[in-house]
């Protein structure tokens, strides 16, 4: 067999082997990829009752499958944000002493508008609208 023909056949063999490997790898990779759950379509929840929070305190609430944080500012106004830190996803808490939102994982700070004050978080906390209906404090998201 001449050299160029051998080279060609070797190349072909290589190509087929690669295709074979890809055929093995594809189902495995697909299998590993988690099934997509339907996006959380919760747009509003009752975060708390009135008279639970006092000024300059905060509490966590469930917003679908994610945590949110409801805060009563020192002036007595309600604010609500996603409680998932925009850095690496820890759950934030309200610090009454500093009157700011604090993420203990890498010392990230957000102000009462959810804006990053200091630390590694790259983005502001997602802010929700809050309104009161009877005894309920309702938190609403603009879009899913």
Given a contact cutoff of 8 angstroms between Cβ atoms, the answer to whether 68 and 128 are in contact is yes
Which one among 70, 71, 80, 116 touches another protein, defined by CB under 8 A?
A: 116
Q: Where are the beta strands (DSSP E) in the chain?
A: 44-49, 57-63, 66-72, 78-82, 93-95, 100-103, 108-110, 116-118, 127-133, 136-140
Given a contact cutoff of 8 angstroms between Cβ atoms, the answer to whether 80 and 47 are in contact is yes
45 binds another protein (CB under 8 A): no
Please state whether beta strands 57-63 and 44-49 pair in parallel, antiparallel, or not at all (unpaired).
unpaired
From 5-13, 45-53, 73-81, 119-127, span contacting another protein (CB under 8 A) = 119-127
119 binds ligand FES (CB under 6 A): yes
From 48-56, 67-75, 99-107, 131-139, span contacting ligand FES (CB under 6 A) = 99-107
Which residue, 13 or 29, is less far from another protein as judged by CB?
A: 29
Which residue, 124 or 136, is less far from ligand FES as judged by CB?
A: 124
Which one among 56, 93, 96, 100 touches another protein, defined by CB under 8 A?
A: 93
From 12-20, 70-78, 118-126, 133-141, span contacting ligand FES (CB under 6 A) = 118-126
101 binds ligand FES (CB under 6 A): no
Query: How far apart, in whole angstroms, are the C-alpha atoms of residue 73 and residue 133?
Result: 19
94 binds ligand FES (CB under 6 A): no
Query: How far apart, in whole angstroms, are the C-alpha atoms of residue 71 and residue 122?
Result: 22
The alpha carbon dihedral of 6, 11, 15, 18 has a sign of positive
Q: Which residues bind ligand FES (CB under 6 A)?
A: 85, 87-90, 103, 105-106, 108, 119-121
């Amino acid at each position: 067999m001449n050299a160029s023909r051998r080279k060609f056949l070797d190349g072909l063999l290589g190509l087929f082997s690669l295709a074979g490997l890809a055929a093995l790898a594809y189902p495995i990779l697909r299998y590993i990829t988690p099934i997509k759950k339907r996006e959380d379509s919760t747009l509003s929840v009752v975060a708390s009752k009135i008279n639970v929070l006092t000024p300059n305190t905060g509490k966590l609430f469930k917003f679908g499958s994610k945590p949110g944080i409801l805060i009563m500012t020192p002036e007595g106004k309600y604010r609500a944000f996603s409680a998932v830190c925009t850095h690496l996803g820890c759950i934030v808490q309200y610090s009454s002493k500093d009157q700011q939102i604090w993420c203990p994982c890498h010392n990230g700070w957000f102000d009462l508008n959810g804006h990053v004050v200091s630390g590694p978080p790259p983005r502001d906390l997602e802010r929700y609208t809050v309104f009161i209906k009877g005894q309920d404090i309702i938190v609403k998201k603009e879009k899913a």
